[in-house]
Each structure stands twice: as C-alpha cells, then as structure tokens.
Copies of this chain bind each other. A is one copy, B any other.
C-alpha cells in the first residue's frame, strides 16, 4: 500500500509548526516535505533541514524535467517542492506533510489529488493574527503589513480545503490536526483502488 499526503496552509503566525511539533508523536511515522530554493542560506540554516539549497540553473533544469510538484518565483528566487523525495516517502507508505501556500495546494491537487487531504490553519481573527505577528518580533512592520494583506487574500480560498482548523486553543487545534492526519493516512490512491477491485473480483 502506498502513502498519502497532508497539505497544510495558512498565514505565517497561524501556529502550523507548533501544531505539527505537538502532534508528531500521536500521528505515527511521517515525512515532512522540505522545500528547494535558489536563495542563499541565512545564518544557521542547514541544507536538507531548513531547505534544499540549489542554484538557479539546476532549478530551471528540474522545472523543465517536470521534477517539481509545485514551484513559484518570489523576489527573483525560486521556491519549490521536488517530487523525488516525496515519491520515495510515498513508496515507503509514509504520510507526507506539506506546509505550502494556497497556490501550491492548487498545483499539488492537480498532480496528486487522489491521495491529498488538506487543512487550512488560521488564528481566530485577523486582529489576533496581527497581535501574534507583532509579538514574535521577528518581522519588521513592513513585513507584518505584507503578511496581513496576504492572509486576507489567502483566507478567501478556504473553500478549496477539506478542513479548516481554527487555532484559538492550541490543544484543541492539535487534537483536530491529529484526527485529520490519522484520517489522511487512510486515503487510497486511484491506482491502488483499481488494483484492489481487480483482485477483489478474481479471488
């Protein structure tokens, strides 16, 4: 039996990383998809942990070869999800978890829709998001403003997600995430279903 995919989207500051971390022991073996980028590593960032770092030439070659599940160009840098490690994890029967944006979700659905479950994670209100972003002190006021504008755009797309997790209470949000992740693991691909039906009738 092959694996399945769980896509998480939601504004920066929604608490996605904390939820995944809190839930990790309860959802069993999973592979957290790491993005590939052409931007330079920042201090402390490790290749293969934070990102796969590569150069523009290799990235564009891989785009042409269809090696990306999804990719986007932001401020002259490419960011994308390589299919190879995802395929390997799926073949091992693992649940693959993605933290990607609304556009990435749409592109991934087109390629691997039959094994995808998706959840949009959001703070309860826009003002709560603003409060959380400001209290993190990691972003300049300019960046916070950009993130809020982006969040208002992204939340309009929640109908394209299977689930919405409102992160008002972290424990409740984590429990909902665990429930969704466990169900996501049970998705069977269309090719596995066809194989099953053929064998079912023959036996």
Contact = CB atoms under 8 A, between A and B. Distances in A.
Interface of A: 122, 124-128, 152, 155-156, 158-159, 162-164, 166, 176, 179-180, 182-183, 186-188, 190, 193, 196-197, 199-203
Contacts of A199: 125
Contacts of A182: 179, 182-183
Given A159-B190, A180-B186, 15 more contacts: A122-B200, A124-B200, A125-B199, A125-B203, A155-B200, A158-B193, A158-B196, A158-B197, A162-B187, A163-B188, A164-B193, A164-B196, A179-B179, A179-B186, A182-B183
Nearest to A178: B182
Contacts of A128: 203
Contacts of A197: 155-156, 158
Counting from the closest, the 4 A-B pairs by CB-CB distance are A183-B183, A125-B203, A179-B182, A164-B188
Given A125-B200, A155-B197, A163 B187 contact: yes
